[in-house]
Amino acid sequence: MTAPNGVLLVDKPAGVTSHTVVAMARRQLGTRKIGHAGTLDPMATGLMVLGVGPATRLLTFLVGLDKTYEATIALGASTITDDAEGDVVETADASAITQEALAAAVVPLTGDIEQVPSAVSAIKVDGKRSYARVRAGEDVALAARPVTVSRFDLGPLRSGALASVDAVVDCTSGTYIRALARDLGAALGVGGHLTALRRTQVGPFGLEDAVVADAIVPGALLRPVDVASRVLPVVTLDDEDARLLANGRRPRTDAVGIVAAVHDGELVGIARGEAGRLHPVANLGVAAADQAAKDAEADA
């Protein structure tokens, strides 16, 4: 039996965890060899990138890709989780906010910024998840970390004591959209939180190529070579160099940096060009696929 091998783009529904989506993919593809390139909160929807079989080794090169989100932000209430799933901890009348005030408040939250992540997050503090500490009643103060928000576009303001606005955000990996909602509300003096979130893009991959979670089939997998060639420079190898690299050797090259090594239309692996040689980084060729097939038989 040929073990599944590729990258799967899934449109996650609301109300389920990312772990549940991975479990669904494992069941529907008949393999446990599945990982992800970033989770979404249960209330969020949109694009999840899963690696299946040997292609899980590609996730290292996908997890740091920039992302695009569509969000809805409520202004006039703060919650413990910075989103609609948490209890409201403070309210203020947001009816005086104007579109001009919104536009001004977004400016300091755009570009290279220092962002304090939401306290209810999976970040570890002294070996324990931050959200677990908060739920245990602890006060958690996370350190700010650098992120880049290259676009923070706001739609028309829906005015009221509890106002709301839609947003589109392009950002680096590790950016918390919940924290942007919190900080936008804080800048306006009324508090804010996230009420809806949809991830529409991860690097070059969009929802148009994704399948819904209950329609996962082997035919939905993207070939490793097609994925790698969209995120990395490609080096094409001849028969001998492909054999050398697949066996852990270092063929000669003019390439510099991390590349996708391709032979005969298939991905041999990920390599690093340095000092005139290709150094193996991750094997994704025949040997890796053969091992995955053996692992699948052992799991059966």
Q: Are 30 and 165 contacting, i.e. CB atoms less than 8 angstroms apart?
A: no
Does residue 112 carry a catalytic annotation?
Answer: no
Distance CA 95, CA 93 (A): 6
Q: Are 209 and 99 contacting, i.e. CB atoms less than 8 angstroms apart?
A: no
Q: Are 44 and 10 contacting, i.e. CB atoms less than 8 angstroms apart?
A: no
Out of 11, 41, 82, 241, pick the active-site residue.
41
Q: Which residues on adjacent β-strands are paired with residue 206?
A: 201
Copy the structure tokens of residue 58: 């590609």
Distance CA 56, CA 54 (A): 5
Active site residues: 41
